[in-house]
Amino acid sequence: MATNYTSGSTRVALSQVDATTVVDTRRTRPMWFDGRFMAARDLEREQNYFLQREADLGQANGFEGIRGLMVDQLASNGQTVGATAIVLHAGSGVTPAGELVTVPEDLTIQLAQLPVQDDLGIQLTTSNSPSQNPQMRTGLFVVTLQPVEYTADPITAYPTTVQGPRTTHDSDIVQATAVSLVPYPNPPTSYAASLQEAALARQIFLVGSATQLPDSLLPLAVISLDHGVVQWIDPYLVRRENGTQTIPVNFGISDQVTQQAYLMQYDTQLQAAVARRRAGGLKANFAATDYFLALPAVGRIPFDGIDTQAFSQVFFPQEMDVRLSIVPSDELPALLQEGMALPPIDLTLPPDAYQNMTVFVLLAAADAESHAAAGARQSLSHAIAAALSRQCCHHSRASHCQQRMGERDWQPAIRFLFALARRCACHFV
């Protein structure tokens, strides 16, 4: 008789086990029947069975921040919290071990109150090892979530023997989520403090030597502290919003999710650099090496770094072949997707290494405008000036990264271009 896969379990009941059957000893549950004596251990086995099954299913798509769980210093009322506090926004995610972690509402957390992960399991015990003063912590830390549980609600426990006494016992197992800090191991130390974030991005995305945390932890952001004061917060160094998706043909980062994270990390750091300069009354005409040690294959650059009259630029190394062009806005998603398959740009190479490298700086414009500019043979500077009256980044559903950046609240005074990097010569044709 054929198995009906549309009703009930799709598992076939075997009458006997042979050598072709693979047994998972972790997923064995009690078989209930009338007349069986029920003990507490049997109920625990059944609960553990379902917990293990849920964890296995949660690992199918890798770990991800499903929704929310962003870390910054902006409260829900729009006010900035103190320099020694962070805001963990509501959301839920899945750890690499497949466990669900949930934060039901926004939390404002004083960093001095957060335990370091090494101390999380021994907070209620005595430890002889010296620990750093929580208010004086200095260095790089990863803000993480970890699923935990504890017992509560004691009730009367009846005796299990004829003359045994009555006792009390906790009646509930409560699942919760713990927020903790994990010291970032082996951070880059050969760079100035102002380039620490850039050095860490290069180490993770270019060198590919990202630090592995325990599978029980969901990393949310890297935070830099100086005597308990927040210097910067970067979520995309460790945050991955989807499971691993390998790209079969690729010249750079083979994991599409890591590519997207690198683009978002670069874009966030770029915004912060531009905002600091404008707050100090400076233009955003800086070289990439002032704030970065590597660049993703695609990304925005400050428009102040381009001189449209002299057709020169200061953002990329001067040895590079940098070309400026206008493209129809509807072609930008395809160019972004193409560029994501290319390797990042290492800004620590000797100057001669950039002579065989070409970078295309693309300005998105409406189709009619780009055709009119080409037909009338107007000067490129006039076409650029006309196109810059609108947002330089076209918002499209065709690209997840472009969509996430398009959702941001850009200040009208800040203009950005998309830069599509291509390797020439033997690297890419």
Q: Which amino acid would we find at residue 92?
A: S
Residues 79 and 234 sit within 8 Å (Cβ to Cβ): no
CA–CA–CA angle 230, 405, 193 (5° rounding): 30
The residue ranges of the chain whose pLDDT is under 50 are 1, 5-6, 8, 10, 20-21, 119-129, 244-252, 368, 370, 373-374, 376-416, 418, 420-429
| 230 backbone dihedrals φ, ψ, rounded to 5° | -70, 125
Among the listed residues 97, 183, 173, the one whose alpha carbon sits nearest the alpha carbon of residue 139:
183
| 363 backbone dihedrals φ, ψ, rounded to 5° | -110, 120
Q: How far apart are CA 305 and CA 206, in angstroms?
A: 24
Residues 306 and 286 sit within 8 Å (Cβ to Cβ): no
**pLDDT score of 55:** 75
Residues 101 and 146 sit within 8 Å (Cβ to Cβ): yes
**pLDDT score of 398:** 30
| 256-279 and 332-340 helices, crossing angle to 10° | 110
Three-class secondary structure of residue 367 per DSSP: helix
Residues 381 and 312 sit within 8 Å (Cβ to Cβ): no
Q: How far apart are CA 373 and CA 387, in angstroms?
A: 10
Name the strand (E) or helix (H) holding 324.
strand 321-328
Q: How far apart are CA 316 and CA 288, in angstroms?
A: 6
Instruction: Give the DSSP letter of residue 202.
Output: I
**pLDDT score of 287:** 93
**pLDDT score of 360:** 84
Q: Please state, in angstroms and as integers, the Cα–Cα distance from residue 379 to each residue in 30, 304, 364, 388, 390, following that order.
A: 79, 19, 16, 15, 19
User: Using CB atoms within 10 A of its CB, is residue 414 exposed (0-12), middle (13-18) or buried (19+)?
Assistant: middle
Residue 318's CB: how many other CB atoms inside 10 A? Answer: 11
The owner of tokens 């086990």 is: 17
**pLDDT score of 105:** 87
**pLDDT score of 11:** 54
Sequence spans of domains, the chain:
59-117+134-239, 244-429
CA–CA–CA angle 47, 51, 53 (5° rounding): 115
* pLDDT, tens only, 1-35: 455 544 545 455 556 655 544 556 676 778 877 77
Radius of gyration of the chain (CA): 28
Q: Six-digit token pair at 275? A: 């905002």
Among the listed residues 22, 216, 51, 187, the one whose alpha carbon sits nearest the alpha carbon of residue 117:
216
Residues 252 and 342 sit within 8 Å (Cβ to Cβ): yes
Among the listed residues 122, 121, 123, 116, the one whose alpha carbon sits nearest the alpha carbon of residue 228:
116
**pLDDT score of 193:** 84
**pLDDT score of 14:** 53
Q: How far apart are CA 396 and CA 418, in angstroms?
A: 14
The owner of tokens 């449209």 is: 308
**pLDDT score of 418:** 47
Q: How far apart are CA 227 and CA 24, in angstroms?
A: 49
**pLDDT score of 372:** 52
Q: 169 has which bridge partners?
A: 155
**pLDDT score of 349:** 92
Residues 364 and 394 sit within 8 Å (Cβ to Cβ): yes
Beta strand pairing call for 167-183 and 218-226: unpaired
Residues 222 and 238 sit within 8 Å (Cβ to Cβ): yes
**pLDDT score of 140:** 92
Q: Where are the beta strands (DSSP E) in 329-382?
A: 345-346, 357-365
Q: Six-digit token pair at 256? A: 């599409």
Q: 178 has which bridge partners?
A: 146
